[in-house]
Amino acid sequence: MVYVRQRNLPALKEYKYSAVDRSLVSKYVLKPFYTNFVIKCFPMSMAPNLITLTGFSFVVLNFLTMLWYNPTLDQDCPSWVYYSWAIGLLLYQTFDAVDGAQARRTKQSGPLGELFDHGVDALNTTLEVLIFAASQNMGQTWKTVATLFASLLTFYVQTWDEYHTKTLTLGIVNGPVEGVLIVAAVFALTGYLGGAHIWQQSAFRALGVPASLGIPDFIYDLTFTEWYMVQGTIVLVFNTVESSVNVIRARRARGDRSRGALLGLVPFFSVWALIVTYLYLQPNILHHHLIPFALFAGLVNAYSVGQMITAHLTKMPFPYWNVLGLLLGFGVADSIGPVLLANYGVGWPSSLGDGVYQTAFVFLMLGTALGVYGSFVVDVIVTICDYLDIWCLTIKHPHDEAAAAKPNGIKSH
């Protein structure tokens, strides 16, 4: 399948990276550290995308240790596992930040770097949600699903914002900076305190707040994990509203209607309506096979995000269609038929049933998503590399400072 037409490729040469990072931590702490120390650890011959991919490998390693020690997301792990998750996440953040600096100093900046970086970030988001759920002993429950929804929505909205405003905007408090640091701190603290079970106790009771203060029971009994989810909900709403305002302003400034831009949020919520419906109808998948289903949901979002970034780079129309939604649609239709038949007498029997075949369907969806997203990634990367005469993970044309400084027509001997 062709994802980028030849007529759209000339727009790649008009690409100019634009980003605004308002984070004070990034400005005064992280960026000076990356610029003055970390970047010097990477050789000039190392491609920026290889740095990005190397950083992602630390998260993959963390995910594998999670599957080994806590596959049900509700068990305590050895302390060193939590420490390794914190280190792996910080290394990912560092490598993800340094790849841009490496691109600038090697003169390899370009649209492929932005596409590759966003694609890896999209995959990382899902893996980190599952690792975080394991660090909280959330289990295979609706809490983990809600955390996945919030994280994927934040990433989707940020990419949607960039498509319409042409600028990547990170607020004073944002996920890639403060969010990552907070999660890494939670991982380390979990290891230090002896396991994820500590987060499943009442926060007020654990902190010594007396119940006699008259705090309502439903608030007093909230666990640390539930308080984190409350905080995350507030941040999610704020970021979504802020991005929506940014998009509306940018569209109106260009004389475009804002209504069409807001429709870009429909694909995400449509898919998630199917996700929630399917899990509600199939509690066995929710409580026993949530990890492969979450990986599928993450790939669906990564595919949508990848399409948006590609459309942004090549100036194509906004991608509203995600073919992977058809799998969810079939799963919901197959699951809801027996419910309608039992309650209203009008429906149809399930072709998959509730047992092993339903589980097999989840892995079928995951495998199909891997194939579709993989074909998209390979096709787009190969197309861009061929057009721009570059390589993805190595530097095809190293920048020669001496040659660049010589006047045109003068050759060195």
Q: Annotated active-site positions, please?
A: 118
**Cα(352)–Cα(226) distance, rounded to whole angstroms?**
35
User: Buried b / exposed e across 99-118, counting CB within 10 Å, b at 16+?
Assistant: bbbbbeebebbbbbbbbbbb
Let me know: does 235 contact 178? Beta carbons within 8 Å: no
DSSP 176: I
CB atoms within 10 A of CB 281: 20
Closest CA to 9 of 313, 317, 396: 313
Q: 162: helix, coil or strand?
A: helix
CB within 8 Å of 197: residues ≥ 6 apart = 76, 137
Longest dimension (CA), the chain: 88
Let me know: does 44 contact 106? Beta carbons within 8 Å: yes
CB atoms within 10 A of CB 386: 10
CB within 8 Å of 279: residues ≥ 6 apart = 145, 285, 286, 293
**Cα(85)–Cα(184) distance, rounded to whole angstroms?**
7
**Cα(247)–Cα(258) distance, rounded to whole angstroms?**
7
DSSP 79: H
Let me know: does 163 contact 308? Beta carbons within 8 Å: yes
Let me know: does 318 contact 388? Beta carbons within 8 Å: no
CB within 8 Å of 265: residues ≥ 6 apart = 156, 157, 160
- Overall residue count recorded for the chain in this entry: 413
Residue 315 tokens, joined: 């100036």
**Cα(31)–Cα(34) distance, rounded to whole angstroms?**
5
CB within 8 Å of 104: residues ≥ 6 apart = none
- Identify the residue whose tokens are 């650890």: 41
